[in-house]
Every structure is written in structure tokens, then in C-alpha cells.
Amino acid sequence: MLGLFVGSMAAAKPEMRVQVVSAVDPCRGLRVRKGDTVHITHQGFLEEDDGKLGDAAVVTRRQIDSNCAPGVESCEPLAFTVGAKLIIRGMERAVVGVCQGETIEAHIPPHLAYDDPARTIPADTRPVPENAWVVYRITVERIERPGGPGERSGQLGGFEPWQVGGAAVGIAALAFVLWRAAGPARGGKSKRKKKGK
């Protein structure tokens, strides 16, 4: 029994960590989902342990990948279809749910990066050593969704639910005021009492 527990612990794989660096709030555009074609700008880094300085670990980042040349302010975004397995699996997973215009930073474990057993990468083209975590900073520049205008934040045409509800209440109140103002013009008798009777 103990052997099974130890074996399952050894087989557990670390999870990817994703944090939003620059948010779009509220999101009025598309959010990435599987099947979308996503245009991103990105930088990939290998975090290297340089030992310790006192009690603190010293970690430096070495850039291993980018679709922008150093010093270039604007560059051609990288386009890929989410789920088509054209890039490392961790990058595909990291962008799902991200709003157009947002920037995230994904800490990707080896099995979702360059040690992914589903995607064999030749040793001479590997930018990192084996069992290495990588960090990707990704900005979703544009999202293309086949077959229609797409799903917008809150699935209400790009508006937040409270905005749609508020607009509905406002329209209903205006309709009631106009109905009341129409009075006798609606074809019925006015119920207002005349003075002196």
C-alpha cells in the first residue's frame, strides 16, 4: 500500500502557473477558446539558478525565444490555432480564457514545454536543457473565431450583465412613462376627475 502511495506521488506532475500581468477589465472583446486563431507577441525565458546571495536564491532569466527582435517596438505577431499543436502545449493552454489585449506570464513545467512526450523536439534544436521550466510572457494581440462574430465577455454582445439589465430597466421605465403620457390618445376614457364635479 505504501509503495502505491509513493509511486503515485512520484508520478504526479507539476502544474503550470499563469498570472495576468496586464488585465483588460472589463473584457469587452473576445476571450480565447479552443479552435480560435490567436495572434500573439511573446518572449520566452529559461530561469537559471545562480546559487545564493546570503539566504536568498539568485535566479536569472535567459531569453530563449521571441517573435520580436531586440529593440524593435512593433513586430509581426505569431499566429496559431489553439488545439492544433503547432506550439508548445503550455503556451496553448495558457492563452485559453485570456481577453484580447491582455498580457500573461506562464511558468510552464517541462512536460508541457520542451520535454513534452507528445511532441518530440530534436536535441540540436532544443533551446533549453532537459527537465527545464520555461517562462513565457504573452500578449494576445488579436483573436479570430471561425463561423460568426464569436463569444464575447459575458456572452451578451460585449456588455457586462449588469449593463444589459440596467438598460432593460431603463427602456421599460421609458415605455411606461410614454404609455401614461398618451392617456386619452390610447382610445380609452380618461379616469381623471374634472374639477367642480
Same structural domain for residues 22 and 43?
Answer: yes
Say if 191 falls within a structural domain.
no
Say if 130 falls within a structural domain.
yes
Say if 194 falls within a structural domain.
no
If one counts the domains in the chain, the total is: 2
Same structural domain for residues 158 and 115?
Answer: no
Cell of 43: 518572449
What is the 3-class SS of 18-54, one letter each residue?
EEEEECCCCCCCEECCCCCEEEEEEEEEEEEEEEEEC
Question: Using one digit for the tens of pLDDT, what is the confidence trace for 52-93?
Answer: 666 666 778 889 888 886 666 678 899 999 999 889 999 999
Question: Using one digit for the tens of pLDDT, what is the confidence trace for 113-154?
Answer: 998 887 777 777 788 888 899 999 999 999 999 875 544 444
Domain that holds residue 37: 13-150
Same structural domain for residues 25 and 91?
Answer: yes
User: In this structure, are residues 57 and 165 in contact, taking their beta carbons and an 8 Å threshold?
Assistant: no
